[in-house]
Homo-oligomer: A and B are copies of this chain.
Amino acid sequence: MGNADFERPHPVVIPPAKSFLHSLKSGLKETLLPDDPFRQFKNQSASKKFILGLQYFVPILEWAPRYTFSFFKADVIAGITIASLAVPQGISYANLANLPPVIGLYSSFVPPLVYAMLGSSRDLAVGTVAVPSLLISSMLGKVVNPHEDPKHYIQLALTATFFAGVFQSALGILRLGFIVDFLSHATIVGFMGGAATVVCLQQLKGILGLVHFTQGTDLISVMQSVFSQMHQWRWESGALGACFLFFLLLIRYFSKRKPCFFWINAMAPLTSVVLGSVLVYLTHAEKHGVQVIGHLKKGLNPPSVSELAFGSPHLMTAVKTGIIIGVIALAEGVAVGRSFAMFKNYHIDGNKEMIAFGMMNIAGSCTSCYLTTGPFSRTAVNFNAGCKTAVSNIVMATAVMITLLFLTPLFYYTPLVVLSSIITAAMLGLIDYEAAIHLWEVDKFDFFVCISAYVGVVFGSVEIGLVVAVTISLLRMLLFVARPRTFRLGNISNSMIYRSMDQYPTANSVPGVLILQIDAPIYFANANYLRERISRWICDEEDRLKSTGGPTLQYVILDMSAIGSIDTSGISMLEEVKKHTDRRGLKLVLANPRSEVIKKLEKTKFIETVGQEWIYLTVGEAVASCNFMLHTCKSKRASVQESDAQENV
């Protein structure tokens, strides 16, 4: 190859410049509409477009006409199953949020109806969730005491729900749903585990029958609070709680091993409530230290538009709480909807789901409901019970409506300790230590993020944990960007292929040529680092060649295949690298600059600086050309030396 005249067969193409407006438009489209929701509107008549648009925003219009009786049968069974879960869970979580238990029931009536119309998931079961409930009690409890001023506290909770809904819809409408993606999987595992631990700790109040309890949610305050009141522990309450917890965990254990136990598991919470209430009624345990729910108001959700406390001095706290619980609810709801859609092979538009969640919470806040989303546990039960469409939510809402209208007196004797057991059992399932172990095995940094979130929640507070986790995730991403990897490439034997010598230790280095690959886009955040790193590579290579007595370094090839984009700081960096190599008498060669990069290199005249002839399509061609030049120079030098020698002679 060296002897033949070298010809460069494949030119690097500079794509034609696109107008600014065109690239702005395509950039915005890629950012905000990555899933191309308007695809179906193409080439349709105006009336068809209107109908499609209506169906897009109100999916029930799309699937209702295709609804069949066999679907209905399946949905009724699933709906009743989740209703049996919704009633005790609703009461329990309302209790956790320091709200009247009946609000938990209200929240399982209106929001599911709204979601059934607007939501696009076929499996999602709507309901209240533990972590936002806890957040409401801890964040709002700081400014208004729920026991001293319950009316104001409820108003703030409804207001927070309203703002959560507004925030959720706004994210969806502005198509900024990808913000939720910044909560990484590792963050969520750690955060949920921590929150579940904290919620379990809070249940010690109910299980031990304590009257006074710390306002803090961290492990240390709870433990202090529990152990400083050992003389006030109620053994009746504790024993009852332990029994029910054991019962619930045992059933879950069996249902996991044998799918035929599924129904028993789904019905277990309601069974516990019924058993507990009957037990208390028969033994009059409410007079012996077992706290009961007491009177529940009969009747459907009262309207609550006038309760939204926009004039409250604590409005900002409500807004802040609303945004945080809104994001957490979205993260859970969207992830749950997506996972089950994956199972059944249909598609969910995350932004549209956010609008549905938002509308559901706005409607909820006007009808005495607090924050709802699509909890994983209830959705899994819905899915396992064989639901076909969102009609199962309507069935659940109907069942809850019947409960609200006629059955509330039955809950008078329900002991609080049973509710605590139900929450604890549900929460223990959320501590996903297996996922944490998996993170440790696959990615230590992800594990660190996860544990930080967990520790932040358990030893600080839910907000601290969330802030810590998001900050670490973002820092990690900034670090990813700020410290890209660089590799030295070598030739894979018997080929024109060049790969990292780190990964392919048998790859051969090319004498006199240093081939570097940069593994990330070059931005302001990593430009300085890369400049330092490249000059270090060059120094190291020169040292290595000196110590081995090999030929001196002549060429530095930058493989730009992995550099997807570059900004002005990145281009300055390349200019500095060029100066640096020039000063050391090295030739800088570029291989495979990508379209974004080559466009900018052309605009800044960097191509002229390097020389058009030093830009190649592949590393292989660049090396071949360098080898050819090296050979020519060597033979020239050799002939010069020869003639010198002859002259000297």
Contact = CB atoms under 8 A, between A and B. Distances in A.
A196 interface: no
Contacts of A15: 502-503, 505
A610 interface: no
B185 A572 contact: yes
A524 B442 contact: no
A597 to B, nearest CB: 10
8 nearest A-B residue pairs (beta carbon) = A184-B524, A519-B564, A503-B595, A562-B562, A185-B569, A35-B532, A15-B503, A181-B528
B594 A178 contact: no
Interface stretch (A112-120, A388-396, A472-480): A472-480
Contact of A35 (B495, B520, B523, B536): B536
B479 A524 contact: no
Interface stretch (A139-147, A481-489, A631-639): A481-489
B10 A480 contact: no
B444 A523 contact: no
A406 interface: no
Contacts of A438: 568
Given A500-B595, A562-B564, A568-B443, A479 B31 contact: yes
A581 to B, nearest CB: 12
A529 B181 contact: yes
Interface string A17-47: 0001001100000110011100000000000
A494 B9 contact: yes
A614 to B, nearest CB: 18
A603 interface: yes
A350 interface: yes
Interface of A: 9-10, 13, 15, 20, 23-24, 30-31, 34-36, 178, 181-187, 342, 345, 350, 438-439, 441-446, 473-474, 477-485, 492, 494-495, 497, 499-500, 502-505, 519-521, 523-529, 532-533, 536, 561-562, 564-565, 567-569, 571-572, 576, 579, 583, 592, 594-596, 598, 600, 603-604, 617-618
Q: How many copies does the complex hold?
A: 2
24 contacts: A10-B492, A10-B495, A15-B502, A24-B444, A34-B533, A35-B536, A181-B482, A182-B478, A183-B524, A185-B568, A186-B568, A350-B528, A443-B567, A443-B600, A446-B567, A480-B521, A485-B596, A497-B618, A500-B594, A503-B595, A503-B598, A519-B562, A520-B520, A561-B561
A503 B599 CA distance: 10
Nearest to A485: B564
Given A502-B15, A600-B442, A565 B480 contact: yes
A524 B445 CA distance: 13
Contacts of A24: 444
Contacts of A561: 561-562
A561 to B, nearest CB: 5
A185 B576 CA distance: 14
A113 to B, nearest CB: 29
Contact of A536 (B36, B473, B482): B36
Given A480-B565, A565-B480, A576-B342, A504 B13 contact: yes
A519 B594 contact: yes
A181 B497 contact: no
Given A494-B9, A503-B13, A504-B13, A569 B529 contact: no
Contacts of A13: 503-505
